[in-house]
Amino acid sequence: MRLTTFKRLFAILGPMANRRSMHNFLLAAEITRGFDSPFLVSWSHAGEDIGLNHYFKHRKFGTYIDVGAFNPSKNSNTRQLYQRGWRGVNIDANEDLISDFLIERPEDKNICTAIGSNSEYQLFLFDELLVSTTNKKNRDFELSRGRKVTSQRKVNGMTLRNILDRYFSTSRPTLLTIDIEGADLDALHSISFETLEPNRFPEYLLLETAPPVSNSLAFPAVELAQSFGYIPVLILPMATLLIAPDVM
């Protein structure tokens, strides 16, 4: 075994000192039958990052806005991009989640705010942190599934246009990904495409959708994007990737 292989092995095993990391390592070993062939790792909820990694495989650097970022690793659409050298802005309305980003994504901008057209929102937190929402219809849906609201709080709101003007005033983000439990349309509206110069449109949008394909293209946020010229290029199990018309 070459020296570089030993170095890589020690680099992998070093962080395994804690029980949780070792559990994940052993689980991966079981799934891959002892690492007998190359395999892909996904951090996303439904493999969205694998789709993005394949689509952007020739793009070494890029930028992103991750709305509803939730966690630097768990269910993250942007962790793989960050590891590859991309940098961007992570946004979540739950202030309890931002501290992990400050530690694990120190080269990103990490913001606690709701994204949408209002200056203030009511955030509903559930016993499953992943499904916190500002959308009352989505709140009622989660309650009908048996989830419980553990708390609710008022949070500040900010438009996507504000984010673009503050962090992308002289450029455009490569990717805008939105996954905020039923509030996606309000968030996308807040970019104000009507008055935004086309060369400042995010190059790609990753919007939450669901199968079948016909339903994915009929989601309100996807229809809004298409009305401004965005073209669907990749339909994933729980999201759709669209490209700006001038990037094709």
Evaluate whether 219 touches 225 at the Cβ level (below 8 Å). no
Angle ∠(153,159,162) on CA atoms, nearest 5: 125
Write out the two tokens for 141.
């849906």
Residue labelled with tokens 């802005």: 89
Structure tokens at 237: 């199990």
Q: Which residues of 237-247 are buried (b: 16+ CB within 10 A; e: fewer)?
A: eebbbbbbeee
CATH class belonging to 42-243? alpha beta
pLDDT tens digits in sequence order for the chain, 248 residues long: 455 665 665 565 566 566 666 666 666 666 666 666 666 788 898 899 999 998 998 898 999 999 999 999 999 999 999 999 999 999 999 999 999 999 999 999 999 999 999 999 999 999 887 788 998 988 998 999 999 999 999 999 999 999 999 999 989 999 999 999 889 999 999 999 999 999 999 999 999 998 888 899 999 999 999 999 999 999 999 999 999 999 97
Domain regions of the chain by residue span: 1-39, 42-243
Q: Give the angle subtended at the CA of 210 by the CAs of 157 and 193, to the nearest 5°.
A: 45
Query: 């390592």: which residue's tokens?
Result: 25
Distance CA 137, CA 182 (A): 8
* Global pTM value: 0.85
* 88 vs 110: CA distance, rounded Å: 9
